Amino acid sequence: MNVEGDDDMKMEMKVDEKSVYMWGYLPGALPQRSPILSPVEVRLPQSIDAGQLWSDVCGGGCGFAMAISDTGKLITWGSTDDLGQSYVTSGKHGETPEPFPLPNEISITRAAAGWAHCVCVTGVGEVYTWGWKECVPSGKVIGDPNSGQSQEKDIFERQNPFLTEQGTILSPRSGGSRSSGVDGKAVGDESTKRRRVSSNKQAVESSSSGDEPLSALPCLVALSPGVRIATVAAGGRHTLALSDTGQVWGWGYGGEGQLGLGSRIRMVSSPHPIPCIVSSSVGKDRREGQGYRAPGSYIKGIACGGRHSAVVTDAGALMTFGWGLYGQCGKGSTDDELTPSCVSSLLGISIDSVAAGLWHTICISSDGDVYAFGGNQFGQLGTGTDQAETLPRLLDAPSLENEHARVVSCGARHSAVVTDGKVFCWGWNKYGQLGVGDVIDRNIPSEVGLQEGCVPRVVACGWWHTLLQAQSVT
């Protein structure tokens, strides 16, 4: 840290290494089923190539966590739960964080995880993804015998106990519906849309009977020549990728419009550009476009929810699309949005960043204010009630008074923000994912207790857990 002034007058300040803290529950990492109710430091693995410092946290999906080391290694830990309702995408099924088995020459800069798949970006703008096969587009498979990378395939198989003899990850079969959430609470109309998942035992039986593999090894995503991806977002079964020129690409499941392509296309097996910013002449022909051009010239931020998506333009306009049953698109209705369109009630407010959960959306303005909308069954909006909001609502909780929000993240049913020196969480807390010392849900932002001198930088929510990257300043 640079301090202006004469050398003799400079303040003595020491900035220690970046640390990663975790709270909540990871089934494979916590076999005693005891959730971590307050932040606990996560140590980097002691392997030679794992690195010495943490560079980023990525939350993780259902039952596993991800972070990135200073050497560009994707570090993962945790596993599936014993009911077989989360998926074999973590690479490591146990307590100790370990590098995910990608080719040694790959250096990861960004990563994200959905319900059943992972996606990451390399330093040269390439994208790798793996997990549920329907989430993985066509591309160069890492470990394909014809690609000359059988060594990586062998490593991946050795480190993944759920691999079949054919080298394919097992995951529960999709289809049908569920009537309740992971915690057993009814979710209303969601019951008609949720996927039914079977046990790992059934998956093993179906795979051994000759069915098509349900999950895929990591593959290099085939993008158009010259496209360099800067960051990625992963939803329930879809993926968004943002290029260094501000163009959004999408693939995976799009049945509710979450790919923004103007239709309910169920499966997009290769990356497609999503027309987020269009000319006014095109907009007039688009039913969802409202006949005007979105403020801005390019996209600067992306987020994926369970089955909806959100993007932020360089001019600070928020656009949403996809499933709208709980108002998570923020347009004042519960209709699905098949193409990206502005959240009109926020026009005139410059939005800096956005995050999306299973049924809700949270965004931060350039003034540091927090806006929330969508499903609120567990208090995940932070409004003080459990009532859903179909329009963005400014959070005016006393705990956020005089706080400037900087970073936001959404888990399935909980939310978190980092302000200047503090972390606040709210929503579902059955597994301690709020980090406030108990397992009681909160419907207003509640401060997470940190060690003195611990300065939070980035927060990332998974399904049942939360990760924090912080620095120690003395």
Strand partners, 274: 248
The contacts of residue 307 (CB under 8 Å, 6+ apart) are 193, 235, 236, 237, 238, 253, 255, 256, 258, 322, 323
CB 130 within 8 A of CB 219: yes
Model confidence at 420, pLDDT cuts 50, 70, 90, reads very high
What per-residue confidence (pLDDT) applies to 64?
86
Is the model's pLDDT at 145 over the cut of 70?
Answer: no
Give the residue-averaged pLDDT of 95-103. Answer: 84
Is the model's pLDDT at 10 over the cut of 70?
Answer: no
Model confidence at 446, pLDDT cuts 50, 70, 90, reads very high
Task: Tell me the three state secondary structure of residue 188.
Answer: helix
Is the model's pLDDT at 117 over the cut of 60?
Answer: yes
Model confidence at 111, pLDDT cuts 50, 70, 90, reads very high
What per-residue confidence (pLDDT) applies to 473?
77
Q: Identify which of 84, 87, 76 has the alpha carbon closest to the alpha carbon of residue 116.
A: 87
CB 173 within 8 A of CB 187: no
Average pLDDT, the chain: 79
pTM of the predicted model over 0.85: no
Give the residue-averaged pLDDT of 119-132. Answer: 94
Is the model's pLDDT at 374 over the cut of 70?
Answer: yes
Report the length, in residues, of the chain: 474
pLDDT digits 0-9 by tens, 276-285: 987 443 333 4
What per-residue confidence (pLDDT) applies to 99?
87
What per-residue confidence (pLDDT) applies to 343?
97
DSSP 304-359: E-SSEEEEEETTS-EEEEE--TTSTT-SSS---EEEEEE-GGGTTS-EEEEEE-SS
| Of the ranges 4-18, 47-61, 434-448, the best mean pLDDT one | 434-448
Model confidence at 386, pLDDT cuts 50, 70, 90, reads very high
Lowest mean per-residue pLDDT among 11-25, 107-121, 159-173, 306-320: 159-173
pLDDT digits 0-9 by tens, 315-330: 999 999 999 999 999 9
Percent of the chain with pLDDT over 90: 58
pLDDT digits 0-9 by tens, 168-208: 222 222 333 333 333 334 333 333 333 332 233 333 233 33
What per-residue confidence (pLDDT) applies to 260?
96
What per-residue confidence (pLDDT) applies to 101?
84
Model confidence at 59, pLDDT cuts 50, 70, 90, reads confident
The Cβ of residue 122 has, within 10 Å, a number of other Cβ atoms equal to 20
DSSP 362-399: EEEETTS-EEEEE--TTSTT-SSSS--EEEEEE---GG
Long-range contacts of 69-73 (CB under 8 A, 24+ apart): 69/44, 69/99, 71/107, 72/106, 72/107, 72/108, 72/109, 72/122, 72/123, 73/49, 73/99, 73/100, 73/108
